[in-house]
Amino acid sequence: MTVLEQRGAYRPSPPPAWQPRMDPAPLLPDAEPYRVLGTEAAGEADPDLLRRLHAQLVRGRRYNTQATALTKQGRLAVYPSSTGQEACEVAAALALEERDWLFPSYRDTLAVVARGVDPVAALTLLRGDWHHGYDPHEHRVAPLSTPLATQLPHAVGLAHAARLKGDDVVALAMVGDGGTSEGDFHEALNFAAVWQAPVVFLVQNNGFAISVPLAKQTAAPSLAHKAVGYGMPGRLVDGNDAAAVHEVLADAVRHARAGGGPTLVEAVTYRIDAHTNADDATRYRGDAEIEAWRAHDPVQLLERELTGRGLLDEAAIEAARQDAEEMAADLRERMNRDPEPHPMDLFDHVYAGTTSQLREQRALLRAELEAEHERHGEPEGGAR
Amino acid sequence: MTTVAVKPATMAQALTRAMRDAMAADPTVHVLGEDVGTLGGVFRVTDGLAKEFGEDRCTDTPLAEAGILGTAVGMAMYGLRPVVEMQFDAFAYPALEQLISHVSRMRNRTRGRVPLPITVRVPYGGGIGGVEHHSDSSEAYYMATPGLHVLTPATVADAYGMLRQAIASDDPVVFLEPKRLYWSKDTWNPEQPTEVEPVGRAVVRRPGTSATLLTYGPSLPVCLEAAEAARAEGWDLEVLDLRSLVPFDDETVCAAVRRTGRAVVVHESTGFGGPGGEIAARVTERCFHHLEAPVLRVAGFDIPYPPPMLERHHLPGVDRVLDAVARLQWEAEG
Ligand SMILES: Cc1ncc(C[n+]2csc(CCOP(=O)(O)OP(=O)(O)O)c2C)c(N)n1
Ligand SMILES: [Mg+2]
């Protein structure tokens, strides 16, 4: 007889009941990326929406080539191109209502522009005359975020705050495949699910994080599967199919707005250009892969679908091109003017007020500028 | 005017009261952190807030410091005024990226269009017998990040007044709470809490003429004790409580040092790369011709924070402060 039995204190019983907290099956993504173009579903899509998407894709492609050209000319310090990813960029912007918020990464200036932000202001960070150009409140677009995935918890907090205030605002946050390995990705998804915050996470899986392919990034069945662990639905979509990305995102936005909580969307796409102009992609990938993806080009896919269905004629395509050229010409013209960043601005907006230390440093810089002015004649924005 | 009984209150109670009053006065003030709701925080500083204001205003978050501060950024972007509790100094480190890369820079990046009025409360410092990771003095990390205010109260009244200021500030504030003073008591009337002078000003806690001790937070009581003990040696020490490390009150500090001509900086944080180096340099640059001796530092050793059974050897105590005062070249004077 054991000591416990002698005392009669211990009566073995089965463990207290354990229940799964929810059925994971409805959260699981489809086995294949969801597609609309080239399938029956295309017939049910709203032709006006498809035409709007097309015009934006044409514009978006032109925007990417123009920004890349400006970088080669030294007008931008760096440009992370979204060539090949225009469907995701454009659909993200168009899936939102006016009152919603967009949280972009450095790759997503096109989404920012498609949301209505002036392209020159969207490119301020990449031109380098300031860290950021536009008023985030004007179009409800957060600043482009460079530290990977750090913008995701911001989107969750904003959506949570909106819900607490009783506003039916949704936040859509964008991140790359590499960014999903960051701790902030995990924390943001977990907070969003626990709080049932109205957030949509859009992961653009473009195959690479600079040079590192997805296989070295994750062992998950798909990035969309990660959603299940947080208790939110994961959706897998063809990221080059603008109609599909828009439909999936718009569904997720509706779901979030209705109080259904967050969704994780993985859009499978491909980065046609190098990581940035400063990157040499030949060191880590071959032309065959790029050519295969060029054959699945987002602009061509939609254009072929629309013309095939008689929903878009040559005149409409020409009009879209014309509009894109005008945008590019305007961008070129304005980006070719030298920006005039004012050195004295450096001390503004560090704090709401100032400090005695910053006052002293301000005076030092002003004196340096005045001395420079005396030597060279021209003040470098030092007049203020 | 009726006189209200002035009862002894602890610093922890004053901090609680500050949050309570701020939440009552401003519905955009939200408290969030680990265990801050039902439990009232591991130090009970948020005690009663969830009960009074509901869990939407005082929220137990998932356990993730970057997530807490990161979501606070989004909340602030939408017009709320988050007050974030980090459970302990060393557990605030996961949030450093959010703090450094976004919280401190968002106003500057957006040219003032997106201010982030976030208060990050961090219990800090040693002397409570804590095991590893519970006693760090992390102020130098925060001080090295432009865009943040770094405040630390040392008295019960300041705990209230400065936390109210921090919450009301339109800038992000790292509010360092000296955890070994949480239970320090003072006669302080919670019904008529005192407001403190403008944020960012140091204050003389003990006037004196021989030398100035420049200190803050957990080291203030040590310096006051040292000043008492120094009377026996014939020194009349002035004790200055910095209260705000950023912005730094050069004016008050230099006025004090110019009066006495001698200064010792006292803090728990490591000496090498610690706040004392910056403070000593500033004082020397500005008060050189008034100085009778080099500005000395009394600091924690340059070691990882020691285990509790050895921490008394690490923490600057009265003797170490007095030894430094003794080295202020008194002989040369006469
Ligand atoms: C926290 C952090 N670490 C490293 C970097 C440097 N970096 C910039 S982009 C990038 C790759 C990101 O890949 P992915 O998330 O897939 O986005 P993509 O560039 O493909 O759009 C890296 C490593 C960074 N910006 N932030
Ligand atoms: Mg990528």
Query: With an 8 Å Cβ cutoff, is A130 touching chain B?
Result: yes
Nearest residue by C-alpha to atom 11 in ligand 1: A209
Give residue for tokens 């919450």.
B167
- What distance in Å separates residue A332's CA from the closest CA in chain B? 24
Terminal C-alpha separation, chain B: 54
Pairing of strands B244-246, B149-151: antiparallel
pLDDT of A159 higher than 70: yes
Å between B77 CA and nearest CA of chain A:
7
* pLDDT at res. B197: 63
Domain ranges of chain B: 8-187, 203-333
Residues β-bridged to residue A176 = A204
Predicted confidence at residue A276, as pLDDT, reads: 94
Is there a common fold for B8-187 and B203-333? yes
H/E stretch holding B299: strand B296-300
Ligand 1: does its nearest atom lie under 6 Å from the Cβ of A208?
yes
Where exactly are the structural domains of chain A?
25-335, 343-376
Residue of A nearest to B96 (CA): A150
- Would you identify the CATH topology of the domain B203-333? Rossmann fold (3.40.50)
- Ligand 1 pocket residue status of A233, Cβ below 6 Å: no
Q: What is the mean pLDDT of residues A62-77?
A: 97
Is domain A25-335 given the CATH code 1.10.10.10 in the classification?
A: no
What are the phi and psi torsion angles at A204 (to 5°)? -90, 105
- The two beta strands, B185-187 and B8-10, are antiparallel
Q: What is the pLDDT of residue A7?
A: 66
Selected for mutation to probe chain A from B30, B63, B110, B244 (highest A CB count within 10 Å) is B110
Interface membership of B75 toward A (CB under 8 Å):
yes
**The dihedral sign for the CA sequence B42, B45, B51, B56:** negative
The distance of B211 to chain A (nearest Cα, Å) reads 25
Q: Which ligand is nearest to the CA of A85?
A: 1
Residue by residue, pLDDT tens for chain B (334 residues) are 444 556 789 999 999 999 999 999 999 999 999 999 999 999 999 999 999 999 999 999 999 999 999 999 999 999 999 999 999 999 999 999 999 999 999 999 999 999 999 999 999 999 999 999 999 999 999 999 999 999 999 999 999 999 999 999 999 999 999 999 999 988 887 777 766 666 789 999 999 999 999 999 999 999 999 999 999 999 999 999 999 999 999 999 999 999 999 999 999 999 999 999 999 999 999 999 999 999 999 999 999 999 999 999 999 999 999 999 999 999 854 4
**Which of A193, A282, A205 is CA-nearest to residue A238?**
A205
The CATH class of the B8-187 domain is: alpha beta
Judge if the beta carbon of residue A206 lies within 6 A of ligand 1: yes
Beta-carbon contacts of residue A76 (< 8 Å; ≥ 6 apart)? A67, A70, A123, A126, A127, A128, A335
User: In testing the pocket of ligand 1, which one of A208, A210, A211, A277 has its CB within 8 Å of the most ligand atoms?
Assistant: A210
Cβ contact B213:B227 at 8 Å: yes
- Residue B248: list chain A partners with CB under 8 A: 355-357
What mean pLDDT comes out for the span A351-377?
95
Spatial distance between the Cα atoms of A383 and A343, rounded to a whole number of angstroms: 10
CA A80 to mean position of chain CA atoms? 12
Q: Which amino acid makes up residue A304?
A: R
Going by CA atoms, what residue is nearest to atom 13 of ligand 1?
A209
Q: Please say whether the beta carbons of B45 and B23 come within 8 A.
A: no
Are A132 and B105 a contacting pair, CB within 8 Å? no
Whether the pLDDT of residue A384 is over 50: the answer is: no
The 3-state DSSP composition of chain B as helix, strand, coil percent (nearest 5) reads 40, 20, 40
Q: Where does the pLDDT of residue A379 fall: very low under 50, low under 70, confident under 90, or very high at 90 and above? A: low
Q: How far apart are CA B281 and CA B271, in angstroms?
A: 13
Active site residues of A: 271, 275, 284
What DSSP character marks residue A171?
Answer: E
The three-class DSSP label of residue A175 is strand
* A115-129, A329-343, A366-380, B145-159: least confident range: A366-380
Check pLDDT > 60 for residue A8: yes
| Residue located via tokens 């300041």 | B158
Q: Does B73 touch chain A (CB under 8 A)?
A: yes
Contact A224, A287 (CB under 8 A): no
Contact, B130 vs B308, CB < 8 A?
A: yes
CA distances from residue B254 to B36, B286, B289 in whole angstroms, order as listed: 40, 7, 12
d(CA A111, CA B71): 22
